[in-house]
Amino acid sequence: MNHSGLFSKIWPVVVAFTMAALHLATPGNEALAEDQLATKVTLQRTPEDGIQPQAVVDEKGTIHLIYFKGEAIAGDVFYVRSADGGAAWSTPLRVNSQQGSVIATGTVRGAQIALGKNNRVHVSWNGSSVAQPKSKDKTEPLLYARLNDAGDAFEEQRNLVTWASEIDGGGTLAADAKGNVFVFWHANAGVTDEADRAVFMARSSDEGSTFGRETKINPDATGACACCQMRALIGKDGALYVLYRAAGNNENRDATLLVSRDGGEKFSSAVLDKWKLMACPMSTFALAQGTDKTAPILAAWETEQQVYGSTITPAATLQISPPVAAPDKGQNRKHPALATNNRGEVLWTWTEGTGWARGGSLSWQVYDAESKPLMKKGREDGVPVWGLPTAVALPDGNFVLIY
């Protein structure tokens, strides 16, 4: 989909819509000198030279991080935490109870993390070909594990698939302070066509101790792009937001948002960006929200080898800003990540040049609360094969970017 010239048309609309929107710089807006900025971005490689880091931060500023190690077709996920902005990390804990039961191949199937009640860590991931327990039809499982009550080990992994099997691209999860945990994935569930594929959810109300049978949640027959990842977030208002890529008619690869305001009983659907493509782009998504309950939800995704962002108003009537492209140009932009701090500033990052069994580079841009670039766009080589970034905002307003 062609978004050229879009920025100049929607600048007045989006600035009025939210002060935390994602935008290109307008001509003449020069970034401040780096030494004049209060906000800093700390760039880090993943501990132990791992890949596919995923991080969240709690209210005290502790970073909770998971990452992949081992053979891409059958490796392990580890968990660490840091109370000093990533300067030092705790001793790694293996998340998966069966060695080699995690897959990283393709970048889109890796583990995701969520913080729930009392900052309990919850992790879900696509099982490797050797992972147990298998689904009933002997296909790869969608696995889940949580940190135990003592916080010193992860409980035994469980397969949450009871009937919606034949997964491919990565699932996602979200958790809240009330003890609710929601795990999402897309699957064939007996069909053979991407256009008939669907999105499913398994829900727990007891901190992940037990899960109910999964249910189909996409209200429209959009299909689901088989080898694309999903992303979920529980907003400060308690609403559930889920991003996935559709596959209607096997060519409508639209970035699609599901929203539930009743704890997952019913979902509405909205298209963020359309894309005609007779193939799977193997893409990932990002969601973030600021500290205020009324702060907008920030979303990012890939369309036609470029990454785009929109803002979503957390209100009864869904309001979504038009998509805006990441600044400048780059080769094969993929795998966006977002973080927003207590000053309304936004860190937007993505990879460039990555592909099948090929690493690339990392780019990022920080925007101020008025949606203008706060500093020069950053770039760093060395994103490993199957790698992608993650980002968090600390209580002091600084960002940590891990790749």
Distance CA(196)–CA(147), nearest Å, equals: 35
- What are the angstrom distances between the C-alpha of 395 and each of 5, 45, 258, 340? 36, 21, 29, 11
pLDDT digit of tens for each residue in the chain (403 aa)?
Answer: 444 333 223 323 333 333 334 433 333 334 444 545 689 999 999 999 999 999 999 999 999 999 999 999 999 999 999 999 999 999 999 999 999 999 999 999 999 999 999 999 999 999 999 999 999 899 999 999 999 999 999 999 999 999 999 999 999 999 999 999 999 999 999 999 999 999 999 999 999 999 999 999 999 999 999 999 999 999 999 999 999 999 999 999 999 999 999 999 999 999 999 999 999 999 999 999 998 888 999 999 999 999 999 999 987 788 999 999 999 989 999 999 999 999 999 999 999 999 999 999 999 999 998 889 999 999 999 999 999 999 999 999 999 999 9
Q: Give me the domains of the chain, ranges plus CATH numbers.
A: 6-402 (2.120.10.10)
Tell which phi-psi region holds residue 10, choosing left (phi > 0), alpha (psi between -120 and 50) or beta: alpha
Do residues 201 and 224 make contact, with C-beta atoms less than 8 angstroms apart? no
- Residue 14, beta-bridge partner list: none
Strands 319-320 vs 297-303: parallel, antiparallel or unpaired: unpaired
Distance CA(142)–CA(193), nearest Å, equals: 20
> What pLDDT does 36 receive?
52
Do residues 355 and 332 make contact, with C-beta atoms less than 8 angstroms apart? yes
- Omega before residue 133 within 30° of 0, cis: yes
> What pLDDT does 316 receive?
74
CB within 8 Å of 230: residues ≥ 6 apart: 169, 170, 171, 172, 184, 185, 186, 199, 242, 243, 244, 285
Do residues 67 and 48 make contact, with C-beta atoms less than 8 angstroms apart? yes
Distance CA(4)–CA(356), nearest Å, equals: 28
Compute φ and ψ for 196, nearest 5 degrees. -105, -5
Do residues 138 and 111 make contact, with C-beta atoms less than 8 angstroms apart? no
> What pLDDT does 31 receive?
45
The conformation of residue 278, written as its DSSP 8-state character, comes to S
> What pLDDT does 92 receive?
98
> What pLDDT does 22 receive?
40
Do residues 159 and 147 make contact, with C-beta atoms less than 8 angstroms apart? no
